[in-house]
Amino acid sequence: MNSRTAAIGAALVVVAVVLLIVLSSGGSDSSKTTDAGKVPTIVVDKEGHPVGGVQELVYNKGDRIHFKVKVPFEEEVHLHGYDVAKEVPKGGGAVIYDLPAELEGEFEAELEGRAEQIVALKVEP
């Protein structure tokens, strides 16, 4: 291998590494209320109220709706509009919502048995 071929090969490796870094750190975090890599967590107290009040989550259509709900007792968490219900087992635990934001509008998640709203969710165009 001559020095010219080696120099071209090294330059191509550098370009590939730079592109990899730029493309992997880029992307759009179009969710307005969540930080990249962090899942919003709604904690419900033992009286059945969301700690800190109803959590407002805003997504753009096409995003992933992703949040976690921790409840200290058995309960059904229902995301209205998307009609997704998840059961928290006896003794409490957490449920995770992870679904595509396909429907535009305003929705709520609630503790179904107590009719307690815990999330105000908005999906924008």
Per the domain annotation, does 45 fall within a domain? yes
- Encode the chain (125 residues) as per-residue pLDDT tens digits: 666 655 555 544 444 443 344 344 343 343 344 445 689 999 999 999 999 999 999 999 999 999 999 999 999 999 999 999 999 999 999 999 999 999 999 999 999 999 999 999 999 99
Q: Domains in the chain: how many in total?
A: 1
Its pTM stands at 0.69
Q: Is residue 28 part of a domain?
A: no
76: CATH: 2.60.40.420
Apex CA 80: angle with CA 65 and CA 84, to 5°? Answer: 65
Q: Is the residue at 10 inside a domain?
A: no
CA-wise closest residue to 93 among 116, 74, 114: 74
Which domain, by its residues, includes 51? 41-124
